Structure 1
Amino acid sequence: MTYNTDGIILKYRDIGEYERIYTILTRDHGKIEAWGQGVRKPQSKLSPHLQSLYLCDFMLARGRRFDRVAQVKVKNYFSELWADLQKLSRAVYAAALVDLVLRPGTKEKTIFELFHGTLNLLEQNTGAIEVVFSLKLLKDTGFTPQLHNCVMCKKTVEGISRPFEAVKGGVLCEDCFRQFGAESFPVSSITVDVLEALFGAPLSAPEMPSPVQKELSDIAATMIQAHFGEMPKAQYFMVSLTQELHTPVGV
């Protein structure tokens, strides 16, 4: 039995002498693993079409453990990403984050559209899109941060700055901060307003002040670490590459 679906290849791993297992975020079936039979043979016709970050139309054959890639047609190579190492590193980070937070078989069409849209925006090198993507992905997987009421006692939290506690998943009031705020960090009311606007709007990467972008990045990173136990390994490559590209020669 076969079925067709669009999907974006997140990663792959080699098994045996000639096979690969592909991790694919599909439009209709969530994150799946699919078997690429013989794709590492020199004469394989499938192999050139099965690269990370390619958007493909897959025909998959049902299998006991893994479905098998029967046919594949590339719909978008995202060539602008592959032509720019910094863009590529940001795209690889986004793919690694999807792989980290999604369980196999989780059917979330909104996440496919979110990731697909992020790759399109990354081709345009639009702002800090990976930060916006990370926050929207957290929201879509059930980890929306609490921004206006204390995450512990539900008291309204106001002021130009409020402590954010990632493990608890939101802001703390003054009383709860004294008891639970050892690992918290301050978040400005401007950042809260920007984050709410991002959550309520279609995917985009609007211009924002550097301090706001930094606080949004900290919220995303600490929540990912708190709820999933680690950051995608691709993050460290992305950060080091960005620093290297922005370091003047001779420094």
Structure 2
Amino acid sequence: MPLYRDEAVVLRTHKLGEADRIITLLTRQHGLVRAVAKGVRRTTSRWGSRLEPFTHVDLQLAEGRSLDTITQAETLTPFPSRLGHDYDRYTAGTVMLETAERLVTEEKQPSVQQFLLLVGGLRAMGGGEHPAGQVLDSYLLRSLAVAGYAPSFDHCARCGDPGPHRWFSPASGGVLCGDCRVPGSAGPAAETLSLLGALLAGDWPAVHAADPRHLREASGLVAAYLAWHLERGLRSWEYVER
């Protein structure tokens, strides 16, 4: 069987047989990959702990007909140890993993930007410099933008008229002018829309200076925007305290 190497983030695992696991990976060069890790559930396994969710690993894999097989695994960044002792960061991180898997829909297709974004997001989540909710909202907006769903927070998403505008519609792709407003549009504060732009751009000084009520409103809009474009909710959302 042909062998190949790649670096990856472990997104999730599930049991296979008595001692094996199927590992779902977001790789740098091969996109979404599902592979078998043989014997990793045995207590004698030397590298089972390297294939836990959140772990950033360097892998060697053997190509298979339906599933590849992991033959080597070396830890590059132990994100589980950085997130596992903080409930807010751990649960926010699980949303990031599930979002990455949902947005990268085609297996074995390169998705370098999504991979780098996820690694950077997990590094920021584990670093502790920014609150978990802010890192999560920034990651979600950026990952949606990379997937082709970039929201507009200044120009009208329908007619392109420069803002500022008052209305926001996830279904329409962002802010709307008065003429393009659709039923059900939200009317967030101007400061909230500016904050959303800062989260998308990674303008952390502006994010840290934001009022808590605008942060809460922005989080609600991010969640609504994500739910619309994913078309169904994330299972991990229910564990996140917002």
Tell me which interval the TM-score lies in, with the shorter structure as reference length.
0.7 to 0.9
Between 1:36-45 and 1:82-91, the stretch displaced more is 36-45
- Aligned amino acid, residue 7 of structure 2: D
% identity of equivalent residues: 25
Structure 2 residue ranges without an equivalent (≥5) = none
Distance, in Å, in 2 between the alignment partners of 1:132 and 1:168 is 20
| 1:23 paired residue number | 24
SS in 2 for 1:221: helix
| 2:197 paired residue number | 196
Q: Within the alignment, does 1:175 sit opposite 2:179 as a pair?
A: yes
| 2:139 paired residue number | 133
Question: How many angstroms does 1:132 deviate by?
Answer: 0.8
| 1:42 paired residue number | 43
**CA 1:129/1:172 → structure 2, altered by over 3 Å: closer, same or farther?**
same
Contact 2:195 2:207 in 1 (8 A): no
Between 1:18-27 and 1:193-202, the stretch displaced more is 193-202
| 2:122 paired residue number | 119
Distance, in Å, in 1 between the alignment partners of 2:68 and 2:205 is 34
Distance, in Å, in 2 between the alignment partners of 1:105 and 1:167 is 30
Question: How many angstroms does 1:200 deviate by?
Answer: 3.7
Q: CA RMSD in A?
A: 2.3
| 1:149 paired residue number | 155
Between 1:200-209 and 1:134-143, the stretch displaced more is 200-209
SS in 2 for 1:186: coil
Question: How many angstroms does 1:202 deviate by?
Answer: 7.5
- Aligned amino acid, residue 78 of structure 2: Y
Contact 1:132 1:205 in 2 (8 A): no
Contact 2:94 2:236 in 1 (8 A): yes
Contact 1:129 1:205 in 2 (8 A): no
Distance, in Å, in 1 between the alignment partners of 2:180 and 2:206 is 33
Question: How many angstroms does 1:204 deviate by?
Answer: 8.8
Distance, in Å, in 1 between the alignment partners of 2:68 and 2:18 is 19
Distance, in Å, in 2 between the alignment partners of 1:237 and 1:200 is 27
- Aligned amino acid, residue 34 of structure 2: E
SS in 2 for 1:175: coil
TM-score by length of 1: 0.84
Question: How many angstroms does 1:198 deviate by?
Answer: 3.8
Contact 2:153 2:194 in 1 (8 A): no
SS in 1 for 2:152: coil
Cα deviation 1:92-118 (Å, max 9, x = unaligned): 121111112221334221221211111
TM-score by length of 2: 0.87
Between 1:193-202 and 1:144-153, the stretch displaced more is 193-202
Contact 2:24 2:34 in 1 (8 A): yes
Contact 2:137 2:199 in 1 (8 A): no
- Aligned amino acid, residue 69 of structure 1: I
| 2:231 paired residue number | 229
- Aligned amino acid, residue 154 of structure 2: H
Structure 1 residue ranges without an equivalent (≥5) = 243-251
Q: Within the alignment, does 1:95 sit opposite 2:101 as a pair?
A: no
Distance, in Å, in 1 between the alignment partners of 2:4 and 2:172 is 42
Question: How many angstroms does 1:205 deviate by?
Answer: 8.8
